[in-house]
Chains A and B, each alone.
Chain A
Amino acid sequence: AQSVTQPDARVTVSEGASLQLRCKYSYSATPYLFWYVQYPRQGLQLLLKYYSGDPVVQGVNSFEAEFSKSNSSFHLQKASVHWSDSAVYFCALSSTNSAGNKLTFGIGTRVLVRP
């Protein structure tokens, strides 16, 4: 069975500081990995995705994530956060051969950026 763990339910950072959100996955093969962001009362927006190749992937709004097969991780990072980055961030996994492209989500990490 596949699973995604986001160990930090809440993260508070100051504006301009760096941000790292952790994500660990469990899957028997190489997964497709995603980070989505959800702003208050809105749907999910795709930040970035990893399928294969370079383990560091660049996303929108200066976010990047690094895939590590040895650590089964896909951590999200941003060098300098802005107050508008306050949102809930979801890590998700899609198995490569599942019918219907089922995404398994983590519980999400709520990020609060203090001015």
Chain B
Amino acid sequence: AQTIHQWPVAEIKAVGSPLSLGCTIKGKSSPNLYWYWQATGGTLQQLFYSITVGQVESVVQLNLSASRPKDDQFILSTEKLLLSHSGFYLCAWSLDSGNTLYFGEGSRLIVV
């Protein structure tokens, strides 16, 4: 069975500090991977997606970047956090032939 793990579960970070959120998929080779952002009490917005290792497409510009260093790993990062980066970050995967996304448990970020 496929499992998706996100880390850290939660973080409180200062404005201007760096950030790195991670996501690992086990049990599925070459999945499509996604990062979504959810403002508190809000809907979900796709940030990035990746179809293969080393290839990442940006959907919206939020002063964030993403990388896929391994087939099963997706990293979201920034060098300088903004207050507006606060929220809930969700990683998801799908089959390359399917449209169903399966989400991780999320990482909650509070920027102070």
Binding site for B on A (CB under 8 A): 32, 34, 36, 41-46, 49, 51, 90, 94, 96, 99-103, 105-108
Most buried by B among A36, A94, A101, A107: A101
Number of B interface residues in the complex (CB < 8 A) = 25
B32 at the interface (CB under 8 A from A): yes
Q: Which of B43, B59, B92 has most chain A Cβ within 10 Å? A: B43
**Given A105-B44, A108-B43, are A100 and B99 neighbors across the interface (CB < 8 Å)?**
no
Docked CA distance A51–B99 (Å) = 9
Are B43's CB and A106's CB within 8 A? yes
Q: Are B103 and A107 interface neighbours, CB within 8 A?
A: no
Please report which residues of chain B, range 42-69, place their CB below 8 angstroms from some CB of chain A when the two chains form the complex.
42-46, 49, 51, 57, 59
- Closest chain B residue to A49, Cβ basis: B100
B106 touches A42 (CB 8 A): yes
Question: Residues of B at under 8 Å CB distance from A?
Answer: 6, 32, 34, 42-46, 49, 51, 57, 59, 90, 92, 94, 98-106, 108
> Would you call B43 and A102 a contact (CB within 8 A)?
no
Q: Are A43 and B49 in contact, CB atoms less than 8 angstroms apart?
A: no
Contact (Cβ within 8 A) A43 B90: yes
Complex Cα gap A45–B102 (Å) = 7
Q: Smallest CB-CB separation from B44: which chain A residue?
A: A105
Chain A hits for B45, CB < 8 A: 105
A34 to B99, CA, bound (A): 10
Q: Chain B: which residue is nearest A9 at the CB level?
A: B41
B103 touches A100 (CB 8 A): no
Pick from B42, B49, B94, B105: contact of A42, CB below 8 A: B105
